[in-house]
A and B are shown apart, each in its own frame.
Chain A
Amino acid sequence: MTKLLNAQFHELFKSKYFYITSIICVIFGAGLTTGMYLFPNYNQPENSRLILTKENILGVVPSFATMLLPFAAAATVAVLLDSQYNHGTIRNMICCGHTRTDIFFSNLITMSAAAAIYFVLYQVAAIFMAVCVFDFEGYDLKATLVSLSAMLLMLIFESTVISLLLGNLMRGGKLTIVILVVQYILNISIVFGMYKYDNIIADIAAKIFPQSCVFYFSCFAVPEGIWKNYAVSAGLIAVMSLIGLHQFKKCDIK
């Protein structure tokens, strides 16, 4: 496993795509903070409990990573997995005697780590712009920050594992497009989260996907029952990982 992780991380850090996405995350974090500062009341959704004011930039911008990071994570999985199938890397790893379990988990760890790096870059850029450029105060509520980070990381892993499962199911072909479309559909749960008081289906969907909590965090408060949401998400990640592993162990590689 260590050998594979070494090789996988080396491949990740050699990938132009990884650096391009990292730069996009930094630009997105810094740009969104600047945008919120300049146009604080732009396009505020009704009934969302979202408080878009200059004072709340540090509540809103870090939460908005939910819009970018799942796509960044999914696209990383798509690009790396596509390269591995098309360049014959997976084939090569199997021929070298690595077990499929090791290959699956080394992929999951590398790709999740890439997404975690995007997360850190986004948040650092957003907070740096807010605190150092626009003189906002840092986070008062550490609990909110911790919960937000936990939620976002969970979201990243959820997105990564679903994309990995899909990618391994397709094994090449148009996996990039499919992964991104599925990711887009999953991200609709952010919208469900906005209207969860009006609709029972939206409420259930919001419980499954942690990104739906994003609008609570924008109020600088840890939502009630967040642990239920975490538990459901953690369960989903575990189940998806097991299904993905089972599928990858049984599948025919060409």
Chain B
Amino acid sequence: MKYVLKTKDICKNYKDFKALNGLTMNVPQGSIYGFVGKNGAGKTTLIRLVCGMQLPTSGELELYGAKLTDKEISKSRRRIGAVVETPSIYLDMTAVDNLKQQYRILGLPSFEGIDEILKLVGLEDTGKKKAKHFSLGMRQRLGIAVALCGDPDLLVLDEPINGLDPQGIIEIRELILKLNRERKITVLISSHILDELARLATHYGFIDNGRIVREMSAEELEAACRKCMRITVSNTSVLAKVLDDMGLEYTIIDDSHADIYAKPNITQLSMALANENCEVLTVEEHDESLESFYISLVGGAGND
């Protein structure tokens, strides 16, 4: 797998506070990488390091094959578009003027493509309306439009749906999916709104206390959070034999608990177990959400 961004044991200290503490992560090309963590976990700090706004205290960061110490890092950064915390826009300019200014900063020879970008983010009809009169969602989309100038290969979005209303959240989500699918842009998106990330991300990095506690693909996460029937029986070895005979997929958790990944006929299963002298104690539907998976990873409130 080809990675656009790799970090190894990266640390960032603010005086005595360790914002990042040996973080290692890999963002695959073409993915939507959901960077999940609670407030203060280190998400924004990492994004600032990736964008060059801050320097790490130690560790390695590689962006499109260029390390931080390489001269080519500036070239690699030109392949990034970023919206860090608040969108970088001039409030007293129109959407078109904002994009023109970004084109100038990038040194692009002409303003071709501005209309296309505005259309892509749904701001083509804003006319002479200045950004200060835009809604929060429109500003966020304008921020993304600015980040899209110069056709970046990697889009870095820090909490892009914070403070947005449901309609705004849907718009941003659809835009991100569109950019990833149609333009093949790799997206690194940080958020603590897990349900929203679950609708977007193809890969996840769970961060806590400045460290990645787990990196996984959406498929792996889906398997971990799969819906199942949790059954409590007097003997799981008997249960395993019966389930094998019935051709059902399952996982034995301990001597009395097992998860069955299907909807079995409970009467049939109970009778088969009764014939083998195995008692069914409880059966309940078990559905681990992304939220509970995250809590199980970082240790919940006790971890604060």
Choose, from B99-107, B159-167, B212-220, the stretch at the interface: B99-107
A119-160 residues at the B interface, CB under 8 angstroms: none
CB <8 Å contact, B101 and A95: no
Any A CB within 8 A of the CB of B237: no
Q: What are the interface flags for B213-229 relative to A under an 8 Å C-beta threshold, 1 for contact and 0 otherwise?
A: 00000000000000000
8 Å CB contact of A254 from B48, B74, B89, B146: B48
Which residues in A have their C-beta under 8 angstroms from that of B89? 87-88
Q: What are the interface flags for B181-199 relative to A under an 8 Å C-beta threshold, 1 for contact and 0 otherwise?
A: 0000000000000000000
Question: How many chain-A residues does the 8 Å CB contact rule pick out?
Answer: 25
Measured CB to CB, the nearest residue on chain A to B73 is: A97
Choose, from B3-11, B49-57, B122-130, B271-279, the stretch at the interface: B49-57
A75-109 residues at the B interface, CB under 8 angstroms: 83, 87-89, 91-99
Which residues in B have their C-beta under 8 angstroms from that of A88? 84, 86-89
B283-303 residues at the A interface, CB under 8 angstroms: none
CB <8 Å contact, B104 and A7: yes
B193-212 residues at the A interface, CB under 8 angstroms: none
CB <8 Å contact, B101 and A96: no
What's the count of A-B pairs with C-beta under 8 Å? 80
CB <8 Å contact, B90 and A97: no
Any B CB within 8 A of the CB of A252: yes
CB <8 Å contact, A91 and B51: yes
8 Å CB contact of A252 from B54, B78, B105: B54
Any A CB within 8 A of the CB of B239: no
Any B CB within 8 A of the CB of A2: yes
Q: How far is the CB of A34 from chain B (nearest CB, A)?
A: 35
Which residues in A have their C-beta under 8 angstroms from that of B75? 97
Chain B contact patch, size range: 20 to 34
CB <8 Å contact, B107 and A3: yes
Which residues in A have their C-beta under 8 angstroms from that of B107? 2-3, 6
Which residues in A have their C-beta under 8 angstroms from that of B88? 87-89, 91-92, 95
Any A CB within 8 A of the CB of B23: no
Which residues in B have their C-beta under 8 angstroms from that of A99? 74
8 Å CB contact of B104 from A6, A83, A97, A252: A6
- Given the known interface contacts A87-B90, A88-B86, the answer about A95 and B77 at a Cβ–Cβ threshold of 8 Å is yes
Measured CB to CB, the nearest residue on chain A to B86 is: A88
Any B CB within 8 A of the CB of A238: no
Any A CB within 8 A of the CB of B91: yes
Any B CB within 8 A of the CB of A10: yes
Binding site for A on B (CB under 8 A): 14, 48, 51-55, 74-78, 80-82, 84-91, 93, 101-102, 104-107, 146, 150, 156
Binding site for B on A (CB under 8 A): 2-4, 6-7, 10-11, 14, 83, 87-89, 91-99, 250, 252-254
Q: Besides A3-B105, A7-B104, A254-B85, 9 other CB < 8 A contacts?
A: A14-B93, A88-B86, A89-B90, A94-B51, A95-B80, A97-B74, A252-B14, A252-B54, A252-B55
